[in-house]
A and B are shown apart, each in its own frame.
Chain A
């Protein structure tokens, strides 16, 4: 036959219902099927992601701490280590794309949610950031004029810097968790997807109450922006809003689908957005600054050998390594989401109490309804 296919013809997809997923989770199963390849993909991509997150976290905190109200932060991506070699490397674009971290930060700030967002809208925040603004403006006439003309402008900039810091601190923890996962896997202690999720969940729980604080030093004096008194913590004030805004909501950036806002193809209510990492087409769209593309580019440099081997055996070999990274990343993010879902479950999954079982089911039903429209069905 001439009509030979270079790929098997498309097969009917298996059908799932929300109930299937809930049953699976309550019986100790995982959203991502527990296969050896899935395990390698998740651990491998989280290893690469952990390295990239480490760089993002360092840079975000560097910007928050050293570029406070700097109107022209030309060297903000240099982490304070400026040299001709680094400048050339930066201009040549052979570098980590810190723009992605900023995009995530802005998305998180835009969607808001959690204690950090609430605190930044409070009078208490203004009371804390005002002295820092005054101190900075004292030595900078442009800031002084700005502050006089537009009194809301600089506080808003400080809010953004607080998000720089908050996300930096969140990613610091996540990077360590992912690197710990990779090291544990290398020691042969991770054999299943369930163990991956449990390790991530344990990391989240261990750091749940870790305080989120932010202070800047101006002319030798320290100024609190996110003080201890605000009682902001890792899990509820950064992790949960992060998952909500980045994994679920996201932004309808240019991709493979064009949206018509006038035709209400984009919901009026931000809470109904579903453009997040769990819903996105794992494609490097390649447009200037399209965020997932930048993350794929960054992770590409740190893919462990065992994952490279898997990618090399795929349909297109290493030609579409960025896409494969995107797909693996999406799988890993389902594991992280599942860890968060399990961590917040009202009762243990194996409870025998019917009331608790019902409560667990209701709780999971809410999550699964949201996840059902994601790419969850595609990773089965």
Chain B
């Protein structure tokens, strides 16, 4: 029942906060939310401790019949792909609440944050397509309200845009799920990798395409990305942390779990095209980031670029690249959360995020040298500098993808270089030089002394930096939880391409596991172990 507890604890917390009969102070509500998410974090730790890393399948399974005529069951399970995302969700939701203070309408605000925590955990754990969709949609309205009520000047526009895009994404996902269940004739929405095996490749391709566009909006991939920069710019810092760190991962997780997991043949057929799509997304996101003058927009566009790596790795569909997709999700979650957190601090202290105004923030005693140092570390991590998690994830993505999508991988690697370019631009303009703002761009300057950064702002950022370093220096602490699942998750593209009608998986022991398999049969045939090349 631990998985249900992960979903229900924040939900109960949200309900308690919203219906608490007495008048309570904002800080007390915040503490209540923190305690709730603290309990959630402890439970997540317990889940990790009990997780069997040798088991590649779903663990801690729970299944309760719910609306049987619809095929909806309350089925939960966690594997090596969902586990790290659950941890990231618990951690970043805690961080988001921790850095929220002095908000208007605190009851509603913290209730919505807890509701999002619950919905996202549910989506990662759902073993039923409809249940996944319900949780996927459940997170939509709270997020819309959080942007619309607590956002910036153009919050209405950004929130509406987000709602329209994501609702459309949901419609596509639901349509694909319904089509899949109807065409397969099973009548059950329970997650089953062999669900689409009875479908023709054309049917699979169409359904997978619809599903991929749905998730592509959420990830977001070019050209469905335009809601993200607006949402980020108008969202408050805690929400930006949550949005970049966790919510975008619903898209990549969905793509991996459902597009790749349910439609392997169609995915393989389209994988070169998908890898080129990743190239476009990576290069567009990176080049767009270079063009930005708003720090938040720059980090938002960097997200578009970095999420492209996940599509590349998923398209490459080798065991190593699939490990890379999950790693990149975790890595991007941590790094982008850190970057948005730091941009938020800069904004709070200076009242601007404009690169043409800010300068010299690294200045000691007058500026924000500590935040600047962390920003440099975050930028280095994002650019894939060794010693930090960004390098590990990008290296594994590129190494894994090169096997099957060499040219696309090489193009995507340019994205790493471009990451250095735009973050260097940002750091150079914002943190170096003299701490004299030139607010109106006419050459006039004013002397600036910025307020001190409190420990409340420093501690979460330092925590994220420590985690980024820890996993960067010892990636095995992270990969051991995933490898078993990612190694057995997908067939090997290369062998499939060479032997149509044959699905091949690679074991973790340097042997290639091949099984002769007609396209319309489930994966339960005897296997033959072949020597490696």
Contact = CB atoms under 8 A, between A and B. Distances in A.
A45 to B, nearest CB: 16
B405 to A, nearest CB: 41
Given A11-B439, A314-B449, A375-B447, 16 more contacts: A2-B100, A2-B150, A3-B152, A4-B102, A4-B348, A5-B350, A7-B350, A10-B351, A10-B352, A13-B437, A13-B446, A256-B363, A281-B360, A315-B449, A378-B436, A379-B447
A283 interface: yes
A203 to B, nearest CB: 28
B530 interface: no
Max count, chain B CB within 10 A of own CB: residue among A2, A6, A7, A283: A2
Given A2-B150, A2-B237, A320 B352 contact: no
Interface string B67-102: 000000000000000000000000000000000101
Contacts of A256: 360, 362-363, 432-435
A333 B104 CA distance: 47
Contacts of B350: 5, 7, 9-10
Contact of B366 (A9, A14, A283, A286): A283
A378 B366 CA distance: 14
A76 to B, nearest CB: 30
Nearest to B431: A256
A264 interface: no
Max count, chain A CB within 10 A of own CB: residue among B102, B150, B364, B436: B364
Given A11-B439, A256-B435, A315-B449, A283 B363 contact: yes
Interface in A1-41: 1-16
Interface of B: 100, 102-104, 150, 152, 236-238, 347-352, 357, 360, 362-366, 432-440, 442-452
B439 to A, nearest CB: 5
Interface residues of A, number: 36
A281 B104 CA distance: 39
Interface string A276-308: 000001011110000000000000000000000
B445 to A, nearest CB: 5
Contact of A284 (B349, B364, B433, B442): B364
A327 interface: yes
Nearest to B237: A2
A320 B369 CA distance: 13
Contacts of A8: 351
B449 A316 contact: yes
A257 interface: yes
A197 B414 CA distance: 60
Contacts of B447: 327, 375, 378-379
Contacts of B451: 6-7, 315-316
Nearest to B238: A2
A324 B365 CA distance: 10
A279 to B, nearest CB: 10
Contacts of A314: 449
Contacts of B363: 256, 281, 283
30 contacts: A1-B104, A4-B102, A4-B348, A6-B348, A7-B349, A7-B450, A9-B350, A10-B350, A10-B352, A10-B439, A10-B446, A11-B439, A12-B439, A13-B437, A13-B444, A14-B444, A15-B442, A15-B444, A256-B363, A256-B433, A285-B364, A315-B451, A316-B449, A322-B365, A323-B449, A324-B449, A377-B444, A377-B445, A378-B445, A379-B447
A285 B364 CA distance: 7
Contact of A281 (B236, B435, B437, B444): B435
Nearest to B357: A10
A323 B366 contact: yes
A9 B365 contact: no
A323 B450 CA distance: 12
A323 B366 CA distance: 7
A319 interface: yes
Contacts of A316: 365, 449, 451-452
